[in-house]
A and B are shown apart, each in its own frame.
Chain A
Amino acid sequence: GEDVEQSLFLSVREGDSSVINCTYTDSSSTYLYWYKQEPGAGLQLLTYIFSNMDMKQDQRLTVLLNKKDKHLSLRIADTQTGDSAIYFCACSNDYKLSFGAGTTVTVRA
């Protein structure tokens, strides 16, 4: 199946930018997603990008897609304490989503 890799931890100072990286193996993925999971909650869709795009911006979030390198990143500008959570990268293949293991982002004051 699809392999999706993410680094496990990221620590960032409040007000700085966070960059979470993801690599995947299936080049036929049509859509790629970022989900956020806060403690005790389900996965919340943050944003997604169509595979023929290379960038998408949505307020403080910027998604970059390098299809050649199969690399996806999520940049969070002006990171706040409320951004502390686990962030999952996911790729679609037909109806299935393949998820990475999640990156735990800790925002320190």
Chain B
Amino acid sequence: DARVTQTPRHKVTEMGQEVTMRCQPILGHNTVFWYRQTMMQGLELLAYFRNRAPLDDSGMPKDRFSAEMPDATLATLKIQPSEPRDSAVYFCASGRSGSTDTQYFGPGTRLTVL
């Protein structure tokens, strides 16, 4: 049963610390998405990769957030320095371009910045 995996599932950190979240897309998928979910804003698209290339990161605060795909099996989202307003659940999703645009979501990383 192929699934998107994310680590860590929960992260509590202090303001100013660096946070790195990891995602393993479903094998064979060539698109990766990072979302942030909060009660106030709902689901927000942060970044989109296709074939490991970043195609859209317009939803991401550029000064502190960065997203990369070092290889086809790993996507990372980094926040440095973290702030309390970054507290949210961060989801990774993967899919296959050229098909139904369907995205398959991971379980999320719940981030709390104190």
Asked if A101 and B42 make an inter-chain contact with CB atoms under 8 angstroms apart, the answer reads yes
CB < 8 Å: which of B4, B42, B102 contacts A48? B102
Q: How far is the CA of A92 from the CA of B99 in the complex (A)?
A: 12
CB within 8 Å of B: which A43-68 residues? 43-45, 48, 50
Q: How far is the CA of A50 from the CA of B20 in the complex (A)?
A: 37
Give the size of the chain A interface in residues (CB under 8 angstroms).
19
CB < 8 Å: which of B42, B56, B97, B105 contacts A44? B105
The closest CB in chain B to the CB of A101 belongs to B42
Give the size of the chain B interface in residues (CB under 8 angstroms).
21
CB < 8 Å: which of A42, A50, A88 contacts B107? A42
Q: How far is the CA of A30 from the CA of B102 in the complex (A)?
A: 11
Q: How far is the CA of A30 from the CA of B100 in the complex (A)?
A: 8
The closest CB in chain B to the CB of A43 belongs to B105
Q: How far is the CA of A27 from the CA of B68 in the complex (A)?
A: 33
Please report B residues at the A interface, Cβ cutoff 8 Å: 4, 31, 42-43, 45, 48, 50, 55-56, 91, 93, 97, 100-108
